[in-house]
Structure 1
Amino acid sequence: MQECPLKSPCVNICALDEDDLCTGCQRSAAEITRWSRMDNDERRQVLARTVERARAKGLLIS
């Protein structure tokens, strides 16, 4: 059985900060651009990085 593609973390707050990261989903411009061509393993890696970025900015309580 084939796995469904992971959904984009986009929250429709699309603005890049000084680090070239989206202030809404914490993905880089390159990650956003490549998302539709990534497999689920790559998407999971990106999602893990977005969590770490948000945590480092104090946007998540851990």
Structure 2
Amino acid sequence: MTKDTPCIAVCMIDPKTKLCFGCGRTLPEIARWHAMDSAERLAVMALLPARMNQAGLTPIAASPRRT
């Protein structure tokens, strides 16, 4: 994925925290992502590591791309 998104193509929502296991975003954030301006995206991305940590979630590593 690009640097403009925290998506690692592991899209699974934790039923308890409502956060994506791969990136830590909520479903509403994922849905609005392309409508957000760059500043809003950067603000959300800055929160993700602490959000995942606080929720007790370990990010799932991205699968290697096949060539």
What band does the TM-score fall into relative to the shorter chain?
0.7 to 0.9
Structure 2 counterparts to residues 1-62 of structure 1, below 5 A: 7-17=4-14, 18-56=16-54, 57=56, 59=58
Equivalent pairs, count:
55
Which portions of structure 1, spanning 4 or more consecutive aligned residues, are displaced by more than 2 angstroms? 54-60
Q: TM-score, normalised by structure 2?
A: 0.70
SS in 2 for 1:32: helix
2:21, 2:58 within 8 Å by CA — same for their partners in 1?
no
Percent identity of equivalent pairs: 36
- Structure 2, unmatched stretches of 5+, are 60-67
State the superposition RMSD in angstroms: 1.8
- Structure 1, unmatched stretches of 5+, are 1-5
Give the whole-Å Cα distance in 1 for the aligned partners of 2:24 and 2:11: 10
